Amino acid sequence: RVLSLELNKDRDVERIHGSGINTLDIEPIEGRYMLSGGSDGVIVLYDLENLSRKPSYTCKALCSVGRSHPDVHKFSVETVQWYPHDTGMFTSSSFDKTLKIWDTNTLQPADVFHFEGTVYSHHMSPVATKHCLIAVGTKSPKVQLCDLKSGSSSHILQGHRQEVLAVSWSPRHEYILATGSADGRVKLWDVRRASGCLSTLDQHNGEKSKASSEAANTAHNGRVNGLCYTNDGLHLLTIGTDDRMRLWNSSTGENTLVNYGKVCNESRKGLKFAISYGCNPEFAFVPYGSTIAVYTVFTGELITMLRGHYSTVNCCVFQPHFQELYSGSKDCNILAWIPTPREPVPDDTSEMPLPQQHLNPAYEDAWSSSDDEG
């Protein structure tokens, strides 16, 4: 199904945003509701379900936090995320230096966290049961952890040297967090430990570091602006402004050296890409200029480029229940990429009635009802 993804002529997403779309998220419970965040601060909530049951339909916007809303973000919304355990709550963070926790039903903020700098990225663990921490990457090199239970953001992870552009919790271990920074480094943290990070990923796997300690332990020769774990949490995919994408073994920290070729990435901020799940092999969907590049995660093969946007693609999100993809762009559009329905293959043997006389006597209808036998 993923190999046959194409721009769907029958599915539209209602056009609400008047400016570029930076971020999308589909809630993991039903896979039905989608959030989008725009560069004008607007957040829209869509219902992806086809309630009309007609073959062609438009995904309707159910509600939005528009420009006139008293609590709207003042600047660009960079990340939106559903609360992983139910749809009654979602979160958004913005260049206005805030992270907001929203009540979905009233569209009012239940809590607001303020930061000293621009917020590039935030993430809640999809699997945590023992903590309610939101990891936040900002203009500061310190990674902030906000506690939803207590409402405080006192917890800080120190180790990066420049702004933190991407954060992602492991979907396997609830206390493990990956962070990517403009300093070229990707760090893995166990947030229970106070004493610095668990490891700093090294693109050379320790080979080159003997020569120069300064070049050591960088994941990319540029800003690291995207991170995504595979669904099982065993691997981490990172992307950097060195036009490279790298796949890491998340338990050993080893660079697997899969070669994806040149992955053009000129984004000055976080880049939101997605990995399929429930497919074999798994695929990565990466914004690539005005297209989306589809790679096989473990062999690095570029399978196809999805073309349809008129301008830079900023984000994409995968809907695993139906293997669909949604993408948001600077062109203000959200596009739906749906697997092409396969033509039913005619079943030759059953379609053609065989001429009667050729029937093997063994297959002739020798059945008779007891009435005939008299």
Which SS3 state, helix, strand or coil, does residue 270 take?
coil
Rounded-to-integer distance, Cα 5 and Cα 266, Å: 25
Q: Tens of pLDDT along 96-136? A: 999 999 999 999 999 999 999 999 999 999 999 999 999 99
Question: Token pair of 244, please?
Answer: 């490279």
The whole-number pLDDT of residue 364 equals 52
All structural domains of the chain: 2-339 (2.130.10.10)
Per-residue model confidence (pLDDT) at position 366: 53
Indicate the helix (H) or strand (E) that contains 349. Answer: helix 348-351
Distance (Å, whole) CA 339 – CA 173: 32
The CA distance from 321 to 47, in Å, is 15
Q: pLDDT value at position 308?
A: 96
pLDDT below 70 — which residues of the chain? 208-216, 342-374
pLDDT for 356? 52
d(Cα 73, Cα 98) in Å, to the nearest integer? Answer: 8
Buried b / exposed e along 76-96 (16+ C-beta atoms within 10 A): bbbbbbbbbeebebbbbbbbb
Which of the 8 DSSP states describes residue 362? G
Q: Which two tokens stand for residue 145?
A: 């952890």
What per-residue confidence (pLDDT) applies to 368? 54
User: C-alpha dihedral over 178, 182, 185, 191, to 10 degrees?
Assistant: -30
pLDDT, position 127: 96
CA 319 to chain centre: 9
- Cβ neighbour number for residue 29 with a 10 Å cutoff: 13
User: What confidence score (pLDDT) does residue 358 get?
Assistant: 54
Name the 3-class secondary structure at 209.
helix
pTM of the entire predicted model: 0.89
Contact 92, 37 (CB under 8 A): yes
Q: What value, to the nearest 5°, has the Cα angle with vertex 305 and ends 302 and 311?
A: 135
- Rounded to an integer, what distance in angstroms lies between the CA atom of residue 260 and that of residue 212? 26
